[in-house]
Amino acid sequence: MTTPSKSRIGDILKRANSGAAAAWDELFALVWEEWHALARAKMRHEGRPHTLETSALVNEAWMRIQRDGRLDYENTRHLHGAVDQAMERVLVDHARRKDRIKRGSDWVRVDIGEAESAPPGIDLDLAAALEQFQKIDARAASVALFRYAYGYTNDEVAAILGVAPRTAREDWRVARAWLRARLS
């Protein structure tokens, strides 16, 4: 898999943001493999067999981004972050639908204090709390999502979000305190 250059994606983003509708199709074709790999990684971290295909996850995330109408991304990191969050919302919504249908799925409630050692994936109560927290502090909610759901270290989260490790650590402290209070 070859990763497209950031400058090429940046050029396409500029064209797309200036109104060139065909640029969005070009962009999607260019980053398809990269997003497909991201989707596969997310599905592996779900911790249970999934009925959702990776291609469907990529397509649904892209459709949600387009449906939200916010297509003015500043750079590739901004775009990839939006795609990552859209994929996460698709997975959570898919799990909720399955849970509603089954009325007794294999989800296990995880105490917030034990969440760091929990198997990969995300508890639906935690997902709902993170959605609420996202409205209060988006960056800290992202830090918590990467730490709880994917098991990333503080330094990895800082690199993904493009912030200093100290900032990620502080966001993590704030997020844990808020989530403990909400989920207790």
Report the CATH fold assignment for 112-183. Arc Repressor Mutant, subunit A (1.10.10)
pLDDT above 60 (res 117): no
Sign of CA dihedral 76, 3, 150, 164: negative
3-state SS of 51-93?
A: CCCHHHHHHHHHHHHHHHCCCCCCCHHHHHHHHHHHHHHHHHH
pLDDT above 60 (res 150): yes
- Which tokens belong to 95? 């799990």
Highest mean pLDDT out of 36-50, 110-124, 157-171: 157-171
pLDDT tens for each residue of 50-101: 667 888 888 888 888 777 655 666 677 777 788 888 888 888 877 777 655 4
pLDDT of residue 25: 81
Q: Side chain identity at 157, as an amino acid letter?
A: V
- What's CA 1's distance to the chain center, in Å? 22
Q: Which residue has the tokens 């997020």?
A: 175
- What's CA 142's distance to the chain center, in Å? 8
**pTM strictly above 0.75:** no
pLDDT above 70 (res 8): yes
pLDDT of residue 118: 40
pLDDT above 50 (res 105): no
Which among 132, 120, 109, 116 is positioned nearest to 182, based on CA atoms?
132
The full set of domain ranges for the chain reads: 6-102, 112-183
pLDDT of residue 36: 83
pLDDT above 80 (res 165): yes
Q: What is the dihedral of CA 96, 98, 104, 105, to 10 degrees?
A: -90
pLDDT tens for each residue of 125-147: 777 888 888 889 989 998 988 88
